[in-house]
Amino acid sequence: QLQLQESGPGLVKPSETLSLTCTVSGGSFSTSKFYWGWIRQPPGKGLEWIGSVFYNGNTFYNPSLKSRVTISLHTSRNQFSLRLSSVTAADTAIYYCAREVVEWGQGTLVTVSS
């Protein structure tokens, strides 16, 4: 069964870049034509799609975040990553990685604060 695990700093300073990695186990990017994505959830609020990367490396981003987001696939390591630049307190959230909306990681809380 596919498992996803987010990793990265839990605290980021304002104006800096948030970087997270999702490690996928129990499956392979190279043999599956899926898309892999990042979704976030501010504390006590709803879900917001950040962006997705397809198995072939093509990316699609939420228009409201597009100027600050980069999602990359690292096939040899069975990982994909998220970079969100120029963060503010509004970017404080639980960040989930997911295979489409089918399988989800447990999420990691990232707080933006000085």
Partner 1 sequence: DIVLTQTPISSPVTLGQPASISCRSSQSLVHSDGNTYLSWLQQRPGQPPRLLIYKVSTRFSGVPDRFSGSGAGTDFTLKISRVEAEDVGVYYCTQATHLLTFGGGTKVEIK
Residue numbers of the site for partner 1 (CB under 8 A)? 37, 39, 46-49, 52, 60, 62-63, 96, 100-107
Residue with tokens 């987010």: 6
Q: How far is the CB of 27 from partner 1 (least distance, A)?
A: 15
Task: Give 16 or 107: the residue with its C-beta nearer to partner 1.
Answer: 107
Q: How far is the CB of 95 from partner 1 (least distance, A)?
A: 11
Residue 20 or residue 37: which is nearer to partner 1 going by CB? 37
Burial of 60 (0-12, 13-18, 19+ CB in 10 A): middle
